Each structure stands twice: as structure tokens, then as C-alpha cells.
Amino acid sequence: MFNCKTKKQLKIRQYSEDELSIALSNKYTSAEVIANKNHFIYLKDYLGSSDMNTQTIVIEENYISKDFLHDYATYYSLCFEQYPKFCKRVHFFSNKFSEDEFVEILLQKEDDCKDFWEHYLGFVVVKPIPVTVIGYTVLKTYSNSINFNDRNFWGVRQYKVHLFGNEIELTSLAFQEQDSVLSACATTAIWSMLNKASVDFHTIMKSPSQITKDADNTSPDGSRLFPNKGLNLLQICQAILNSGLVSEIKQPDSRLNFPDGSFINIVTNSYLKKILNAYSPIGIPIILIINVPNGSNYGLHAITISGFKQNAPIAISPKAEISWLSDNIEKFYAHDDQWGPFARINFDANTSLRTPWTEFHDSQNPTYVTNIVVPLYPKIRISYEDIEYIVLGLDAILSLFFNDKIAFDLVWDIKINYSEVLKNNIKNSNLDDTDKINYLTKSLPKYIWAASCYVGENKIFDFTFDATDVSSGMIGKGFTCYFQDIKPLLREFLTSNRSILQPLFNHSSKSIYYDFLIENLV
């Protein structure tokens, strides 16, 4: 069936951990070395999980990877060692088949073998360099849904994979390992983020070497960029800016003191959850700067968040502080270039995370968050904090209104979204037709902040704000009440108690915001 040339180009193996290590090896890196890499530990668990159920490996030899070709031209082609420019691509399937059966599939018309390609799980490009071999990788996610209680991979996109004359569509986010020569962890974190942003926001997709060059002309210590030892926070932002986006840097909101008198400034899990929840709808992966345990020391590291799992809102008893729906996020998923794609990360109390760095550490020391880098389209000028500032006033006023009317707490959900998405939500809501038409025909900016107020599973209010305006001004664009009976009661309450309630808006435009509430309750 095969001639010698075909057999060299295409190899098929039944999936096992041994076969996986062999498939990921190359001339410079043996299967034994591969088997001891963090990436192998992660990938064997990911591919061997019940969600993936990998059965077959297809190895495509002499593959040209555009990303590696850029890096090859920048660095490896100038080495004395004659590194090849050809990679190999390792594909994974959830069904079993032989070489002869696969050839028969390749010869069939595409419409006649659609069921076969449903079993395709993705690929890993193996670079022809020492040790850091994991190149451009696109693997299928676990089950994915926008619903509560399910995994929601909001930072992914559609990829078209071309394999021996067949086009396969796969929902994922590209991943690769840092090679420590042309890129460090921050570079690959930016690279993964741009894989999504370049599709939705018309930003420039670049190779790791190009991203590193964009960051600066020199390393933070004044030395040359290549080999690369890492990017600092300013260089990360510069590289993102040169790709057509801007960055919002979320600083630590707490200090963690240790028994020996030392301390670390950290981002608490409650703040992290707020930011992930708020910016996820626009779909740009978020970069997290973490402090990870490594032996007896800690080191800074960058990962790219592309999804989370969030529980549905439930009725909770009233409490002194404001309640946030973002607290229902129970875990998130991130590309960690030292482990693998879609690594599951859990929250540990309110101060630390359980990452693979923690799970595989001898003492299971915790991981801490030091900064959040939120890449954004430049026209988005209003931050999450600007909206939370207004919501604190709304919560104070509405809590007084509902004090003797409901037995449960108000829960707030702040998100930025596209105005067309919000209009579609209104169209499918239980509002009366008049209110729907008023909202659907309203002129709105492309990006809108929405603050939704829940009681249990029921959404009571939506407050919308212009995400492209000036924070010191009046940015309110709409106030939607989903229960008509509340409107006259709330309007009367606001009108009668203005002198008491208006000061609860701690904002320079408090009187305008107060009028805004009353006017929208007609």
C-alpha cells in the first residue's frame, strides 16, 4: 500500500505514554528526556483523560511551521550547528485505525468521511532543537459552554487545520513552549493572547521572536535580547502596544505577611475573579503574572487565561458587604508554557492559587498572583474600577429600598460586552414589547459596561454604561427593570428620599446619576 517515501512522511501509532514520548522526541532530544519534561507529564494526563480519550497518533514528517521559520531565520540559521528548518507535526485522534484504513479515508471525498474527522483532537508541532521542542500546538478543549456550571472557554477561536488534503475545524487557543533563546514565558503568553486578538480585533499576529523585539531593544539588565532571559511588566505592555492593543495593569490589592517578617504584595482571589468575570465577554485572553514555587525559591512567571468555570447565582442571606457574582468562579484555565494548554488552576482561600507548580512541588507551596495584564482595544477607556465605584452607590440605595421587601441579598455582576450582544439579550428577555423596542432602537457605542443586579436566580435590573467615554462624566446609557411592579415603587422611593439617598453616590456627577435613575423608571 505504501511506498518507502510515503512511509517516511506518515507514521501511525496506537496511543500510549511510551509512543507519546517517542512521537515528541527528535534528533537532539531523546524520548527519555521528553518523558521527564513537565509538558509530557501534563500532556499524557490531558490526552489520556476521559474527555479526550486519545487512541491514535499520526506523525506528519517534514512539516513547515511558519512560527518556527521566523525564529529559525532570526537565530537558529546563524548557529554553527546545522539545525533543520523542518519540524514534524504530531496529530491525535479519539478513534483507532490502521495505516491502511487511514489511507482509505484520505482517498475518500470529504463529505463521505465527516464522521471520521469528528474524532480529531488536534496537533503538536515538534521543533528540531534541543529540549524545548514543543512548538505550535492546537488541542481541542474539554467540554465548552457559555452556561453557568459548565466550563466556559471564552478566550478561544476557530482554527482550520489542513491535513493531507482535508480541512478540519477545531475550537482552541494556540500554545507553545518557551525556548529561552528567542522567547521567555511572557513572550509566549503574549503570543497565545494575540492568537485570539488577531482574529477579533484586527491586531497583528507575530512570532515569538518578533514579540520579543517589540518589547524593547535591550533586556531589563541592559544586556542583549537574544538569548532572552525574560520581560518585565513595562516590556510586556510595550509588546502588546506594538501589536495594536493597550494594557490595563491591575496592581496588588493586599499584602501577605510571613512569620519571618517578610511580605509579598498580592492580588487577592476575590479581585482576580472580579477582573476575569468583567473582561471575559470581549474574548481577549488575560495575562496573569504569578509568583511560583521552584525548589526552595520563588520566581515570577506569566500565564494566559482563556476560560473558567462559574456556578449559577443562588439566593444568599443579606450581609454587610456587597455581594458579587464573580465569587461564583470556582476555577480557571490557563496556558502555562512550562506545563501545557488549558491547565486547570484552583483557588486556595483568598490569597493563593493551586497551579501545576504547586501540585508538583515537594512541599506543595502555594502560587501567588502579583499582577493582572488586561489587553484591550484602545477605544475601551472606562475601567472595571470606574464602574464598581458607581455600583457601590447603586447597591447602597437599592439595599435600602429592598430592606423590608425581600429576604435575600442583592448580587452584582459587572461585565463589559458588545452592545449588539446586550441588545440580543434584551430581545430574548421577558420585557414587554415597548421596552424592547425602546432599547433595540437606541444608539449605543460598540462597547458597553453592564452592571446586572440579581436576587437569587432572577435578574432584577441592568444598568448600562458607555465604555468609551470619560470616567468623570455621566456615562450611564440605560437602566432596565425586569419587573414592572417595582418601577413605580422605586420611583416614589427615590423621589421622596433624595436628600438621604443621593449622597450615597460617591461620584462627582451624583445628581446627574440620581436623575438618570428616576427618569428611567417612567
Residue 36 in any domain: the answer is yes
What are 329-364's pLDDT values in tens digits?
999 999 999 999 999 999 998 999 999 999 999 899
Residue 189: name the closest of 210, 175, 202, 201 by CA: 175
| Kind of pairing between the strands at 56-63 and 323-324 | unpaired
pLDDT band of 217, cuts 50, 70, 90: low
What mean pLDDT comes out for the span 244-255?
95
- From the CB of residue 192, how many other CB atoms can be counted at a distance below 10 Å? 26
| Cα angle for residues 262, 265, 269 (degrees, 5° grid) | 125
Please tell me the predicted confidence (pLDDT) of residue 5.
46
Q: Which triple of cell numbers denotes residue 49?
A: 483523560
Note whether 192 and 340 are same-domain residues.
no
**CATH code (residue 324):** 3.90.70
pLDDT at position 374 over 90? yes
pLDDT at position 382 over 70? yes
What mean pLDDT comes out for the span 4-14?
72
Q: With both helix axes pointing from N to C terminus, report the angle between 486-496 and 384-402 in degrees, rounded to the nearest 10.
A: 100
What mean pLDDT comes out for the span 410-423?
97
What mean pLDDT comes out for the span 185-205?
87
> Counting Cβ atoms within 10 Å, is residue 426 exposed (0-12), middle (13-18) or buried (19+)?
buried
Q: Are 429 and 438 in contact (CB under 8 A)?
A: no
Note whether 460 and 509 are same-domain residues.
yes
Q: Which triple of cell numbers denotes residue 476?
A: 450611564
Please tell me the predicted confidence (pLDDT) of residue 375.
97
Please tell me the predicted confidence (pLDDT) of residue 183.
47
Residue 217 in any domain: the answer is no
Residue 220 in any domain: the answer is no
pLDDT band of 220, cuts 50, 70, 90: low
The cell 501545557 sits on which residue? 340
Residue 347 in any domain: the answer is yes
Q: Are 139 and 120 in contact (CB under 8 A)?
A: no
Residue type present at position 272: L
Q: Which of 341, 357, 376 is the last residue of a domain?
A: 376
Note whether 471 and 402 are same-domain residues.
yes
Note whether 348 and 475 are same-domain residues.
no
Residue 98 in any domain: the answer is yes
Note whether 259 and 347 are same-domain residues.
yes
Note whether 129 and 260 are same-domain residues.
no
Residue type present at position 382: I
pLDDT band of 226, cuts 50, 70, 90: very low
Residue type present at position 355: T
Q: Which of 140, 168, 197 is the last residue of a domain?
A: 197
Residue 396: give the domain boundaries: 384-519
Q: Are 229 and 219 in contact (CB under 8 A)?
A: yes
Please tell me the predicted confidence (pLDDT) of residue 3.
46
What mean pLDDT comes out for the span 133-153?
91
CA atoms within 13 A on the CB side of 125: 24
Q: Which of 132, 166, 197 is the last residue of a domain?
A: 197
Distances in Å between the Cα of 238 and the Cα atoms of 187, 215, 431 are 11, 5, 45
What mean pLDDT comes out for the span 40-44?
97
> Counting Cβ atoms within 10 Å, is residue 466 exposed (0-12), middle (13-18) or buried (19+)?
buried
Residue type present at position 411: V
Chain-wide mean pLDDT for the chain?
A: 91
> What DSSP line would sit under 280-315, residue for residue?
GGG---EEEEEEEEETTEEEEEEEEEEEEEEPPP--
Domain count, the chain: 3
Please tell me the predicted confidence (pLDDT) of residue 43.
97
Residue 226 in any domain: the answer is no
Residue type present at position 313: P
Residue 408: name the closest of 373, 458, 352 by CA: 458
Note whether 364 and 425 are same-domain residues.
no
pLDDT band of 8, cuts 50, 70, 90: low
CA gap 356, 344 in Å, rounded: 8
Q: Are 46 and 342 in contact (CB under 8 A)?
A: yes
pLDDT at position 6 over 70? no
Note whether 282 and 417 are same-domain residues.
no
> What DSSP line would sit under 177-225, residue for residue?
---SSS--HHHHHHHHHHHHHHHHS------HHHHHHHH-SS-TTSS-S
Please tell me the predicted confidence (pLDDT) of residue 229.
58
What mean pLDDT comes out for the span 213-220?
66
DSSP three-state, residue 102: helix
Q: Are 209 and 181 in contact (CB under 8 A)?
A: no
Please tell me the predicted confidence (pLDDT) of residue 211.
87
In this structure, the dihedral spanned by the alpha carbons of residues 64, 70, 71 and 74, taken in order and rounded to 10 degrees, is 130
Please tell me the predicted confidence (pLDDT) of residue 7.
45
Note whether 179 and 267 are same-domain residues.
no
pLDDT at position 454 over 90? yes
DSSP lists the bridge partners of residue 510 as none
What mean pLDDT comes out for the span 261-276?
95
Note whether 512 and 450 are same-domain residues.
yes
Note whether 419 and 327 are same-domain residues.
no
CA gap 84, 128 in Å, rounded: 6
Please tell me the predicted confidence (pLDDT) of residue 180.
55
Q: Which triple of cell numbers denotes residue 46?
A: 490531558
Residue 335: name the closest of 325, 327, 322, 344 by CA: 344
pLDDT at position 20 over 70? yes
Residue 210 in any domain: the answer is no
DSSP lists the bridge partners of residue 90 as 59, 124
Please tell me the predicted confidence (pLDDT) of residue 323.
96
Q: Are 93 and 168 in contact (CB under 8 A)?
A: no
pLDDT band of 227, cuts 50, 70, 90: very low
Distances in Å between the Cα of 392 and the Cα atoms of 99, 148, 385, 413 are 63, 25, 11, 12
What are 479-498's pLDDT values in tens digits?
999 999 999 999 999 999 99
Distances in Å between the Cα of 56 and the Cα atoms of 32, 41, 74, 133, 212 are 21, 18, 35, 21, 36
- Range in 128-137, 178-187, 272-281, 393-402 with the lowest mean pLDDT: 178-187
Note whether 323 and 264 are same-domain residues.
yes
Please tell me the predicted confidence (pLDDT) of residue 294.
87
Backbone angles phi, psi at 131, to 5 degrees: 65, -60
DSSP lists the bridge partners of residue 298 as 293
pLDDT at position 520 over 50? yes
What mean pLDDT comes out for the span 22-47?
96
Please tell me the predicted confidence (pLDDT) of residue 208.
84
Residue 473 in any domain: the answer is yes
CA gap 90, 58 in Å, rounded: 6
Q: Which triple of cell numbers denotes residue 495?
A: 423621589
pLDDT band of 1, cuts 50, 70, 90: very low
Distances in Å between the Cα of 108 and the Cα atoms of 6, 161, 321, 407 are 18, 18, 63, 64
Distances in Å between the Cα of 75 and the Cα atoms of 181, 242, 243, 490 are 8, 22, 22, 67
